[in-house]
Every structure is written in C-alpha cells, then in structure tokens.
C-alpha cells in the first residue's frame, strides 16, 4: 500500500515533498507518525471493547454464593444458524472437533442456557459448542476472537476457544462440534461477572 494511502487511513498528513521521491528522513518521520496514530486507534478500539464487555457483564444474572457468572457469547457474520453451548459429554477432550453428516447423532451434555456458566474461582470447565447447518449447501466458516488475545483482555479468564484460524466445513443439513475450555484464575472474586465473545465468520 502506498505511503499516502496508509497516511490517509491513519489520519496523518503527508508533506508534498514526500508524495514524490521525497527525502528518506521525511518518509521515516511520516511512517513513525502513522505508526503512532495506528497504535492510538488500536488502544481506542480496545477501550471501546472493554467498555462494551463491562456493560454487557453488568446485565448478566447474579451468580450463586461463592461463584462467578461467565457468558461466552457469539456474533455472526455471513453465517446461517447459530452456535449452541452444551456441557461437554463424558470423556470429551479439549480441542476435539467433529463434523457430522445430516441425520448423524451428536453426543451432547446438558444445554447451557443462554451460554451462561456459574464457576468457582480457579475452576476450569470444558464445554461443547455445536453448529447445525440449516442450509441445503455446505457452510464454511472460521472463528475469530473479539480481541487479539481474549486472555489478556479479560485478565481473570484463561480461554481456550475455537479461534484457531482454521476453516471449518459443515455439510448441508449437517453439524459441527468442538470442545473448548473456560478457566477462571484463582484471583477472581466471587460475585463478579465476566462477558466475553467470539465471532463466527462465514465464507462463500
């Protein structure tokens, strides 16, 4: 991408002499200003994400005594249907991923209502996330976190999710499942509420 395009994206003015051949020092100065501007934008986006998470966490139900409320929500971009959360069935292993053809039975634990868990500080929990393809054609999608590193964004949560960059393919009328893990740090205080989310992105 041309330096003028990068500068425009970052909101940095490029001196006229740099738009042509320009002086190397001038170009380096503009690049540094672009980098500083992009860093500031990244921090602003993170702050907005944290504020949104805090607002949504406040609306979550109060946990039972000695526990923490945790919600792992989903957003969808060009994905038909929704991802559901279940208790992991007996013998489930972290990261286990399975694709089912139409009509095949999926081993499930109890459904997790509204994707909300009540965990004790320091507790880890395996859950099974399931996507059922309602289309008459294959659905391709991948999963990204709402921030680059959810664990750093939510200091009290060690989250092993489905955000691997892998492209998942679900046959028409079929289903897909993956075992993920939520783990609270021992430092989190009982009574707290944590809201995190993942984004499922469809491919055509």
User: Is a pLDDT exceeding 90 seen at residue 182?
Assistant: yes
* Beta-bridge partners for 157: 184
> What's the token pair of residue 20?
């042509």
Whole-model pTM? Answer: 0.73
Whole-angstrom distance, CA of residue 35 vs CA of residue 28: 10
CA distances from 26 to 22, 91, 99, 148 (A): 7, 61, 54, 32
Whole-angstrom distance, CA of residue 95 vs CA of residue 109: 16
With contact defined as beta carbons under 8 Å apart, do 121 and 185 qualify? yes
User: Is a pLDDT exceeding 60 seen at residue 80?
Assistant: yes
pLDDT tens figures, 113-152: 999 999 999 999 999 999 999 999 999 999 987 554 554 4
């Amino acid at each position: 991408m041309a330096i003028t395009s990068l500068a425009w994206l970052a909101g940095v003015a490029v001196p006229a002499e740099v738009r042509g051949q320009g002086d190397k020092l001038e170009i380096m100065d503009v690049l540094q200003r672009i980098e500083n501007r992009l860093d500031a934008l990244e921090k602003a986006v993170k702050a907005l994400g944290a504020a949104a998470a805090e607002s949504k966490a406040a609306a979550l139900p109060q946990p039972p005594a000695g526990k923490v409320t945790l919600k792992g929500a989903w957003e969808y971009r060009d994905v038909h249907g929704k991802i559901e959360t279940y208790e992991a069935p007996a013998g489930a292993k972290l990261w286990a991923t399975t694709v089912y053809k139409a009509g095949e039975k999926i081993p499930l634990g109890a459904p997790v209502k509204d994707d909300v868990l009540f965990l004790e500080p320091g507790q880890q929990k395996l859950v099974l996330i399931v996507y059922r393809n309602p289309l008459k054609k294959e659905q391709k999608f991948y999963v990204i976190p709402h921030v680059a590193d959810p664990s750093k964004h939510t200091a009290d949560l060690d989250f092993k999710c489905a955000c691997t960059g892998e492209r998942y393919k679900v046959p028409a009328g079929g289903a897909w499942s993956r075992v993920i893990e939520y783990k609270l740090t021992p430092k989190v205080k009982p009574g707290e509420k944590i809201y995190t989310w993942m984004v499922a992105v469809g491919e055509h």
